[in-house]
Amino acid sequence: MNTPSSASAASLPPLVVSDRLAKKALRHFKERFIEMLLFGAASVSVLTTVGIIWVLVSESYHFFETVPLWSFLTDTMWTPLFADPHYGILPLLAGTLTTSLVALIVAIPLGTTIAIYLSEFARPAVREIVKPFLELLGGIPTIVYGYFALTVVIPMLQLLIPGLSGFNMLGAGIVMGIAIIPYVSSLAEDAMRAVPMNMREGSYAMGGTKLQTALRVVMPAALSGILSAYILGISRAVGETMIVAVAAGMQPNFTLNPLESAQTISAYIVQVALGDLPHGSIGYQSIFAAGLSLMLMTLSLNLVGHVLRRRYREAY
Amino acid sequence: ASVVKVDGSSTVFPVTEAVAEDFQKSMKGAVQVTVGISGTGGGFKKFCRGEIDVADASRPILKKEMEACAQAGIKYVELPVAFDALTVVINPKNAFIKQLTVEQLKKMWEPDAQGKITSWKQVDASFPDAPLKLFGAGSDSGTFDYFTEAVVGKAKSSRGDYTASEDDNVLVQGVSRDVNAIGYFGYAYYAENQGKLKAVSIVNKQGTAVQPAPAAVLDGSYNPLSRPIFIYVSEKSLEKQEVRDFVTYYMKNASKLATEVKYVPLPAKAYETALEHVSKKKLGTVFGGEAEIGVTIESLLAREAKL
Amino acid sequence: MNSADIPVIRKIIQRNKRWDLIFAIAGFLALLLGVLTFLALFVQMAYTGWERLTPEFFTNFPSRRAAQAGILSAWVGSLLVMLVTALSAVPLGVAAGIYLEEYASKNLVTDIIEINVTNLAGVPSIVYGLLALGVFVYGFGFGQSILSAGLTLGLLILPVVIVATREAIRSIPLHIREAAYGLGATRWQVTRDHIVPYSLPGILTGVIIGMSRAIGETAPIITIGALTFIAFLPASPVGPEFPWLSFEWLKSGFTVMPIQMFNWTSRPEEAFQQNAAAAGFILVLMTLAMNATAIWIRYHVRKDIKW
Amino acid sequence: MARVETAPVKAAVEDFSFYYGDFKALKSISLPVHEKRVTALIGPSGCGKSTLLRAFNRMHDLYPGNRYEGAIRLHPDNTNLLSPGVDPIEVRMRIGMVFQKPNPFPKSIYENVAYGLRIRGEGNRSVLDDRVKEALQGAALWSEVEHRLHDPATALSGGQQQRLCIARCLATNPEVLLFDEPTSALDPIATASIEDLIHELRDKVTILIVTHNMQQAARVSDYTAYMYLGELMEFGETSQIFVNPTRKETEDYITGRFG
Amino acid sequence: MARVETAPVKAAVEDFSFYYGDFKALKSISLPVHEKRVTALIGPSGCGKSTLLRAFNRMHDLYPGNRYEGAIRLHPDNTNLLSPGVDPIEVRMRIGMVFQKPNPFPKSIYENVAYGLRIRGEGNRSVLDDRVKEALQGAALWSEVEHRLHDPATALSGGQQQRLCIARCLATNPEVLLFDEPTSALDPIATASIEDLIHELRDKVTILIVTHNMQQAARVSDYTAYMYLGELMEFGETSQIFVNPTRKETEDYITGRFG
Ligand SMILES: Nc1ncnc2c1ncn2[C@@H]1O[C@H](COP(=O)(O)OP(=O)(O)OP(=O)(O)O)[C@@H](O)[C@H]1O
Ligand SMILES: Nc1ncnc2c1ncn2[C@@H]1O[C@H](COP(=O)(O)OP(=O)(O)OP(=O)(O)O)[C@@H](O)[C@H]1O
Ligand SMILES: [Mg+2]
Ligand SMILES: [Mg+2]
Ligand SMILES: O=P([O-])([O-])[O-]
């Protein structure tokens, strides 16, 4: 046997780094250069965020020089462009929350049901056909949904609820909910399908039915994925613009009643953008203040999503 | 290709669009015309920043805008295009309104009404206790400026809690679907949607209730809601051949095209005068930056002639 | 358990299965609702806009006469904007995805980038509009041009492309990478020869889905102020002399499909609603075609790569 | 090691063939499974051990395109488990299964064990408590988890998880227990504890176990079936199969000449 | 079986320890690898066989948090493969590796074999053609694929894929070949063909092989190292280790008393 040991090391030739093994400077340089390029590309996304925050904050800063933050947060009227301006974000916030809530009441149960159905009940053939169909539904431009809400859904609702106004948060919210079903169902289904089969087999082997397996085993196992699907749905609803702009009424009403018309934060921004406000006017700044509020809302949603994902990380 | 940039009033847009379309055809595509819709105020802001050649306006230029233009060294020629009847509309199923006075309109729309006047009964005791649903022009529009001036007495002075849209069709939709709704916008939008809307007769200075209609505009009886509409052309842009061509074409065809899009054209004389102003570079406005109410066609002609 | 329990067990199973059935029906109905909504929407637009779907509709410019109006400038505009979007988002997104998956070691910087990409994916599109207004339109002075719009949408879909790239790369099994490294390949060689080619279908799918989202975006385009009557085409990207490329078109004004549709829906004349429906129908068809391509790639091309 | 007195047949595989789509994975297998004995299935990878095992609780019904032929009869009631008239859920309620990779549900230890009872409609807390304790004791896990019943099951070590999975089955008192390579994902110490457990369980329940580890088969089983390419090559008492196989192939495999 | 005449040491592991983060997976291992001989690493699952093998071509550098201690010297130049001054890419160019699961690139058969040459900058078509043919012949695959060199490699059977992976290494003439359980994903027939191939290759190249199959180790190797819990328990000529192990643990393992 010829085991080299530290004792015999002295008799071996001295330690060398062969020429072949020396780092080749050129190759090393090229690799570093490419890495820098790729890193540059990756930083663009950070620059985008910086850009968004910078634009929103700097314009809002001027806004808050004129408007005290306190009245922005507590005033119940939002009329920044009128002779007697009020700058209370509450009406827009109420509109945003109400439409989002209606949308979620539609999208979360339906989206979850569809996800469970596709992932646990439907035959693979059905799933292969239906899933792309749902994805198509998610690809329809929201402006199209907006007119669908205005010309089809709201008139139908008016037949059911006499006296319902022609623009209302209910109709806009319902259609928005339908529009975000695909996001919720598709992501939730992905999460459930990622649950390994052996988990399901465990339940089936105990004599569980499909529904029991889905509700008691698959859903808990996929919890973090399902929660992020919901969070994505919520942030879509909060930021959705064209449906509410077209169908919810563009009226900054401080109300949580979905039968009324109202304006959301995003709808206010397009409304103003439809006109033209000069750089520097309080009106121009007001859309950035509104945008900042919107951004903060979605940002905190994302944060919640992040925490939830961490907390309920799948441990299959 | 050379480009003519127009932006501004949504009221004037139909006329300018028609002109732009025909003009581009007559030039066989050698000139490109873009027509934006930013509202009269928005249009003037761009105009005074030198971003556009022509501003569409549904009211004369205001003091503040004149100053902004002066500061930027922008001079302009003012060209009246047609007359419009600002129309107050209600839902066809509304049975209790036959006519409205300016007083009543003011009660509904003044800033003090915000959050307080929410029922028809508060506007007039004889009206039922039904919710008052208001639809009106957005604050960046000339229509808004003119209506508030005419009704409330001060431009831009309005309550804020109503459905405000730069998009007049949204207003049409809103009023046509709600029995208790009332709204206002340019006559053209009413004329196109007579089936879905009812125009309210407005009691004029002389005390008679008048329906909006071309004839009533011509004879001056539909007041105070008749108003002239304009285009403003920048002096600097007039140095460009294509802008001169466009404006000339505009004035030559305004009468025909305004009628086509349901406005009341001016007498031929008015367009000739306007062209003269262009060629002689007669700059400035004849309104002195004041929002004037109840300008009739005759008085407009008289002023133009004096410039 | 023994055989005597079997009748009890059977009862329980029966009850459990009843719930199974109830849920299956509920699931099917929920699915049906989604599918029916889509069909209702699609059929309604097709039905309303059917008469307008003639060849001329695609070759005509917008016009004040509904029957002659077409979507030429809109679809060309959409195409050019998408070109800029693709050229900006694809290289950046793919490179960023590669960096994050293949190069980045776990550290604070890459953590920040990661969280940042996830967050960006949740930022409402209207906020991108504000970014564009502040940075591209005013900051860089690109104005309301194809360039501004294309870059805005490019940033908007950047997270989609990054995420798709990362997912596609992640689906490449570790042992393929190890095989290549084991032969002495450098990181870049592994990336170039293996990672990129094998993840291409996945990346492509993501890009197309991102683009189909971008093509229907309305809000950010409105925010940069592009609601305009455009009856001409931007300058051709192919120039008459060397290098036969012209970038004039990047600075041109433009309109896109959803804006044209939005524009028509806000016209007073009923006839324009038909145009809007027809344009909406085409727009949906365009996104459907893109999505269908993406889905096709996902289900067919991707399946062909076996590990 | 193996203890063989005559024991009644609990289940009988009768001329059983199985198809994955067009692929015939099992060919006319006949095999008795004796009551309260351990029967081991051995054979080289891919020979169909798992396939046969999974037929016992109709696991193959979960995937499309699978087809059974022949019968597996469960005694004393002589039910053909594979008959289309027999509800697979009922079969699975009678026959428990432990998988290769421990697969506890993402719930607490307690809820894992209670799961089988809950889906049988048992909601009474004190009944559940008792049965959970009993099952955990039966799986030799009670002392290790008794103070953390409400911790997530995934926090347990691999060997503990596997015993939890066994407890989960025991809680519902199955007539037959199926094990599919239950220790192949475990370290030697955990493996030993599972083998001990199987030793104890065979007094209470009929066990069928798949293993790729010859030594394990020799250690834990009373009967051994040697399979090769979808066929049953040899079946007999474990001592006989390992000491004195009748077929050359079995001997080659057992002595490690191939595989 | 094993053929042991004195052979020079091609590589020497010297007091080598390895850490996955804080976990010390290998503990002070010293081991010679003889030139043009087959050295087998055996031991129960998780004992660190793969970890040791993968240290030879710095595979661990691909993942963060891994740490080497000690040295692996490659002779005759006596380079410490693990020294931070040594470029892992060059190490991998000298030492080839075949993995547990056949992992051909989803490219053509030809491109798979040519890949190693291409990244070394070889672009000459006729040189490539020759070397690809040579390598495929060396891996005993030429006759089976010579008429479909441009078919996708993934269309080959598992055993063919594994031989392709060997050909891929051979094409670049490595000094040492590492095999990590190269047959564990294969059927018995494919296994036999790979074992035959290893037999032939040992005249040309130094081989280090990890296997969990004792019989395989006995069949193919000249030297065997038995590892347990990250330590090298015993190293020696294969015949000696299998017939007359010096340590009790080795004997237990080899005779299947545990594992
Ligand atoms: N879902 C399936 N579809 C098609 N063929 C399958 C499927 N599962 C297994 N097979 C095939 O059936 C045969 C028997 O597989 P099985 O899993 O029963 O083998 P096994 O003896 O359990 O092997 P191992 O020891 O590797 O688990 C194999 O040839 C396998 O390739
Ligand atoms: N990436 C890793 N991070 C942390 N620990 C690891 C990692 N890979 C392996 N280990 C641990 O290191 C030890 C040795 O693992 P290794 O894969 O080398 O074992 P092995 O002998 O090859 O086993 P097997 O026969 O199962 O392949 C094991 O305890 C394993 O859990
Ligand atoms: Mg198996
Ligand atoms: Mg290993
Ligand atoms: O768009 P306006 O005509 O109301 O300014």
What is the C-alpha separation between E36 and E39, in angstroms, rounded? 9
Please give chain A's pLDDT, 316 residues, in tens. Answer: 334 333 333 344 443 434 444 456 677 888 889 999 999 999 999 999 999 999 999 999 999 998 899 999 988 888 877 767 888 999 999 999 999 999 999 999 999 999 999 999 988 888 888 887 787 777 788 888 988 898 889 989 989 998 788 888 999 999 999 999 988 998 899 889 888 888 899 999 998 999 999 999 999 889 888 988 899 899 889 999 989 988 888 888 888 999 988 899 999 998 888 766 666 678 888 989 999 999 999 989 888 888 887 776 655 5
If asked whether residues C186 and C214 sit together in one domain, one would say: yes
Query: Could you tell me which of E79, A44, B26 has the C-alpha nearest to residue C120?
Result: A44
Count CB pairs under 8 A between chains A and D.
75
The C-alpha atoms of residue D239 and residue D220 are separated, in whole angstroms, by: 11
Cα–Cα distance measured from residue A191 to residue A119, given in angstroms and rounded to the nearest whole number: 9
Output the pLDDT for position A314.
Answer: 59
Interchain contact E/B (3 or more Cβ pairs less than 8 Å): no
Identify whether residues C83 and C34 lie together within a single domain. no
> Is the CB of residue B58 below 6 angstroms from any atom belonging to ligand 5?
yes
Q: Is B270 in the pocket of ligand 5 (CB under 6 A)?
A: no
Q: Do E119 and C186 touch (CB under 8 A)?
A: yes
Domain contains A157: yes
Ligand 5: atom nearest CA of B146 is 4
Cα distances (angstroms) measured from residue D217 to each of D223, E82, E216, E259: 9, 43, 21, 12
Q: What is the pLDDT of residue A7?
A: 36
- What pLDDT sits at residue E71? 92
Q: Test C268 with B172 for CB contact under 8 angstroms.
A: yes
For the segment C191-220, the average pLDDT, to the nearest whole number, is: 89
- Amino acid D60 reads H
- Residues from chain C that touch D120, judged by Cβ atoms under 8 A, are 9, 12
Atom of ligand 1 nearest to the CA of D63: 1
Closest protein CA for atom 12 of ligand 1: D25
Same-domain status, C168 and C25: no
Q: Which of A190-216 are b and which e, b meaning 16 or more Cβ less than 10 Å from the residue's Cβ?
A: bbbbebeeebbbbbbbbbbbbbbbbbb
Residues A222, A194 contacting (CB under 8 angstroms): yes
Task: Tell me the residues of D at the A interface, defined by beta carbons under 8 Å apart.
Answer: 57, 59, 62, 64, 89-90, 92-93, 96-97, 99, 101, 103-107, 115-116, 118-120, 152, 154, 165, 168-169, 172
**Residue A7 touches partner E, C-beta closer than 8 Å:** no
Are β-strands D9-20 and D66-74 bridged in parallel, bridged antiparallel, or unpaired? antiparallel
Average pLDDT, chain C: 85
Cβ <8 Å between C13 and D173: no
> In total, how many domains does chain A have?
1
Contact B37 C228 (CB under 8 A): yes
Beta strand pairing call for D23-34 and D79-80: unpaired
- Which amino acid, one-letter code, is at B204? N
Q: Are B74 and B47 in contact (CB under 8 A)?
A: yes
D178-212 residues labelled b (16+ CB within 10 A) or e (exposed): bbbbbbebbbbebbebbbebbeebbeebbbbbbbb
Nearest to B214 by CA among B151, B148, B258, B268: B258
Residue of B3, B13, B34 best to disrupt the C interface, most CBs of C under 10 A = B34
Half-sphere exposure of A245 (CA within 13 A, CB side): 27
Determine whether C260 is exposed, middle or buried from the number of CB atoms within 10 Å of its CB (0-12, 13-18, 19+): buried
Establish if A257 belongs to a structural domain.
Answer: yes
Give, in order, the Cα–Cα distances in Å from A122 to each of A229, B115, C54, C60, E194.
Answer: 20, 53, 41, 47, 44
Co-location of C46 and C147 in the same domain: no
E46 touches chain D (CB under 8 A): yes
CA distance E158 to chain A (A): 25
For C53-67, the pLDDT digits (tens) are 899 999 988 888 888
Residues C36 and C59 in one domain: no
- Residues C75 and C260: beta-carbon distance below 8 Å: no
Instruction: Report the alpha-carbon distance of residue A132 to residue D131 in Å, rounded.
Output: 46
In order of A134, A144, A180, the CA distances from A184 in angstroms are 11, 20, 6
Residues of D in contact with E259 (CB under 8 A): 188, 213, 215
What pLDDT is stored for residue A141 in this prediction? 84
Provide the chain A residues 183-212 that lie in CB contact (below 8 A) with chain E. none
Cα separation of E82 and E57, whole Å?
Answer: 9
Q: Which atom number of ligand 5 is nearest to the Cα of residue B140?
A: 5
pLDDT at position B101 over 90: yes
Cβ-Cβ contacts under 8 Å for C152 (sequence gap 6 or more): C128, C129, C131, C132, C136, C220, C221, C224
Angle made by CA atoms A195, A199, A204, in degrees to the nearest 5: 125
Is any atom of ligand 5 closer than 6 Å to the C-beta of B137? yes
Are residues C40 and C61 both part of a single domain?
Answer: no
Does one domain contain both C107 and C209? yes
Q: What is the mean pLDDT of residues C31-58?
A: 88
Distance B45 CA to ligand 5 centre (A): 13
E217 contacts E211 by C-beta, under 8 angstroms: yes
Q: Do E12 and A4 touch (CB under 8 A)?
A: yes
Q: Is D195 within 8 Å of D208 (Cβ atoms)?
A: no
One-letter amino acid at A86 equals: H
- Helical H segments across chain E, by residue range: 49-55, 88-94, 109-119, 125-138, 142-145, 158-170, 188-201, 214-220, 238-243, 248-254
pLDDT tens readout for residues D162-208: 999 999 999 988 999 999 988 877 777 788 888 989 988 988 899 99
CATH number, residue C80: 1.10.3720.10
Query: Mind listing the pLDDT tens digit for each residue in B59-96?
Result: 889 888 999 999 999 999 999 999 999 999 999 999 89
Task: Let me know if residue A20 belongs to a domain.
Answer: no
Q: How many CA atoms lie within 13 A of E235 on its CB side?
A: 19
Average pLDDT over residues B272-276: 89
Count of domains for chain C: 2
The number of C-alpha atoms within 13 Å of B182 and in the hemisphere containing its C-beta is 22
Domain that holds residue A263: 94-276
pLDDT at E11: 92
Angle subtended at Cα E168 by Cα E167 and Cα E173, rounded to the nearest 5 degrees: 85
CATH of the domain at A182: 1.10.3720.10
Selecting from C231, C267, C269 the residue whose C-beta is nearest the C-beta of B20 gives: C231
Task: Tokens for B274, please give them.
Answer: 């306007």
| A150 contacts B140? CB cut-off 8 A | no
Give domain status of residue A145, yes or no.
yes
Residue A283 lies in a domain: no
DSSP collapsed to 3 states, D152-181: EHHHCCHHHHHHHHHHHHHCCCCCEEEEEC
- Kindly state whether residues C214 and C227 are assigned to the same domain: yes
Radius of gyration of chain E (CA): 18
D78 within 8 A of D118, measured Cβ to Cβ: no
How far is CA B116 from each of CA B107, B132, C300, E37, E78, rounded to the nearest angstrom?
10, 11, 63, 98, 94
Q: Looking at the structure, do residues C101 and C234 belong to the same domain, yes or no?
A: yes
Look at residue C271 and tell me whether its pLDDT is greater than 90: no
Six-digit token pair at C115?
């969280």
Q: What is the pLDDT of residue A171?
A: 94
- Encoded amino acid at C75, one letter: W
pLDDT at position A2: 39
Residues of chain D scoring pLDDT < 50 = 1-2, 259
Expressed in angstroms and rounded, the spacing between residue B158 Cα and the centre of ligand 5 is 16
DSSP, collapsed to helix, strand or coil, labels residue B184 as strand
- Compute the C-alpha angle D139/D141/D146, nearest 5°: 135
- At residue E79, the 3 state secondary structure works out as strand
Residue C262 near residue C62 (C-beta atoms within 8 A): no
Interface test with chain D among C13, C17, C21, by most D beta carbons within 10 Å: C13
C-alpha to C-alpha distance for D140 and B89, rounded to whole angstroms: 84
* Percent of chain C predicted with pLDDT > 70: 92
> A65-94: b or e for each residue (b if 16 or more CB lie within 10 Å)?
eebeeeebeebebbbbbbbebbbbbbbbbb
Peptide bond preceding E102 in cis form (omega within 30 of 0): no
Ligand number, closest to the Cα atom of B43: 5
CA distance D33 to chain E (A): 27
pLDDT for D34 equals: 93
Supply the range of the domain harboring residue C13: 5-51
The finding on whether D51 has its CB within 6 A of some atom of ligand 1 is yes
Length of chain E: 259
| % of chain E surpassing 90 pLDDT | 44
Q: Which atom of ligand 5 is nearest to the CA of B166?
A: 1
User: Would you call A238 an interface residue with chain C, using a CB distance cutoff of 8 Å?
Assistant: yes
Report the 3 state secondary structure along E41-52: EECCCCCCHHHH
Q: Is there a single domain that holds both residue C203 and residue C288?
A: yes
Cβ distance C243 to C272 under 8 Å? no
Q: Closest Cα to atom 3, ligand 1: which residue?
A: D20
pLDDT per position as a tens digit, B174-215: 888 888 899 999 888 888 888 889 999 999 888 899 999 988
First and final C-alpha spacing in chain D: 24
Query: What is the reported pLDDT for A11?
Result: 40
- ipTM, two decimals: 0.81
Optimal mutation site among C138, C249, C265, C266, interface B, most CBs of chain B within 10 A = C266
Of all residues in chain C, what percent carry a pLDDT higher than 90?
Answer: 29
* Cross-chain residue pair E78–A17, CB shorter than 8 Å: no
Q: Which residues of chain D lie closer than 8 angstroms to A220, CB-CB?
A: 105-107
Instruction: Give D-chain residues touching E213 at CB under 8 angstroms.
Output: 256, 259
Q: Which residues of D touch E187 (CB under 8 A)?
A: 44-46
How much is the pLDDT for C4? Answer: 55
The rounded distance, in Å, linking the Cα atoms of E232 and E41 is 9
For residues D18 and D66, the answer to whether their CB atoms sit within 8 Å is yes
Q: Which helix or strand (DSSP H or E) is residue E98 part of?
A: strand E95-98
The C-alpha atoms of residue A232 and residue C124 are separated, in whole angstroms, by 11
pLDDT for res C248: 74
One-letter amino acid at A302 equals N
- The answer, for A50 touching chain C at a CB cutoff of 8 Å, is no
Tell me how far CA of residue B253 lies from CA of B18, B77, B266, B297, C90, in angstroms. Answer: 10, 18, 11, 19, 49
Which atom of ligand 1 approaches the CA of D47 most closely?
21
Note whether C45 and C161 are same-domain residues: no
Strand order in the sheet with B181-185: B163-165, B133-137, B181-185, B87-90, B198-199
Looking at the structure, tell me whether residues C95 and C192 fall in a common domain.
yes
In E198-237, the residues whose Cβ lies within 8 Å of chain D are: 213-215
Give the torsion sign (CA, E217, E218, E223, E224).
Answer: positive
A172 CB burial (10 A radius; 0-12, 13-18, 19+) = buried
Ligand 1 binding pocket includes D46 (Cβ within 6 Å)? yes
If you ran DSSP here, which 8-state letter would residue A208 be given?
A: -
Residue E218 confidence (pLDDT) above 60: yes
Residue with tokens 């060689």: C189
Ligand 5 atom nearest B144 alpha carbon: 4
A33 inside domain: no
